[in-house]
Structure 1
Amino acid sequence: MDAWVLWLIAAGVLLVFEMMTLTFYVLWLCIGAVVAAVVGWIAPDAYILQVLAGCVVAIVLTIFTKPLSRKIRNSSKGYEDTGTELAGKQGVVVEPIEEGQFGIVKIGGDTWSATSVRSLKKDELVRVLKRSSTIIEVERWEDFT
């Protein structure tokens, strides 16, 4: 089997590993393996050149993207989760909530799976107590006021 095929297999394995970890460090190794595969395809007998090309690309990507990733992480703009500021907001029950079961509540333009310590009927106003993951805990609005 040619060396460039082995490099592509290694790149595929690294890509799968990157998708499981989402660290971006393994992605740079994957890209380095792809570069080594290209060099191996062009110069099949230059094994040291393949390794050096892959290593240099992986190191350069790691060094130059670290400040960029730090800048993106620390920027004030970015992805904002719509559920971070839900506590205290008013919503309306879309599907009834039975005690110990889930129902659906609409808050603004978003719908959420919701639980409550009391049964709530459709179209009742509710207040969000807290959010855990994708499920919110609500109470009847009249109980709050």
Structure 2
Amino acid sequence: MLAWIVWLIVAAVLGVAELMTTTFALGIIAVGALVAAGVGALHVALPFQLLAFVVASGAGLGFVLPIARRHIKQPPLLKTGPAALVGRSASVLEEVTGQSGRVRIGGEVWSARSYDETLVIPVGHMVDVMQIEGATALVYPRE
């Protein structure tokens, strides 16, 4: 069997294994096997195919893998949904206590509780949204 076909089979097996593990490492090594398959398709001797495999895999693991992992661990640049409400100001529609209350955030009415359970915030005061728990905003009065 031709060596480049063996390299393609190795790359395919590594690619499937990458899909099962999602570690990125096996995928990068699979790319190294594809490089070796390309070198093998040019009818270059086996030691040079192995060298191409080692160099491509090493370069990928040394340079590409850290960049990919750093990129995956970054928080999203744009907050959406309830997370986007944290830090916004709101006006109190119903007195807010540690157990209940209502506030208007943007154009929406939300159930609310005081972030500090001992505080009672009267109607009309401005508050800051500190946290969202389910469909309830935890708020703290503005100074």
Task: Report the Cα offset of residue 68 of structure 1.
Answer: 1.2
TM-score normalized with structure 1 length: 0.51
1:20 and 2:20 matched: yes
Describe the shift of the 1:67–1:17 C-alpha distance in structure 2 as closer, same or farther (beyond 3 A). closer
Q: What per-residue deviation string (whole Å, max 9, x for no partner) do you get for residues 31-73 of structure 1?
A: 01011011001024x1000001011001101111233124313
Task: Report the Cα offset of residue 76 of structure 1.
Answer: 2.7
Letter of the 2:9 counterpart = I
Identity of aligned residues (%): 35
Count of matched residue positions in the alignment of Structure 1 and Structure 2: 89
Structure 2 unaligned spans of 5+: 84-132, 135-143
Describe the shift of the 1:17–1:49 C-alpha distance in structure 2 as closer, same or farther (beyond 3 A). same
Describe the shift of the 1:80–1:47 C-alpha distance in structure 2 as closer, same or farther (beyond 3 A). farther
Structure 1 unaligned spans of 5+: 85-128, 131-145
Letter of the 1:54 counterpart = F
| Partner of residue 9, structure 2 | 9
CA distance in 1, matches of 2:18, 2:78: 21
Describe the shift of the 1:74–1:16 C-alpha distance in structure 2 as closer, same or farther (beyond 3 A). closer
| Partner of residue 62, structure 1 | 61
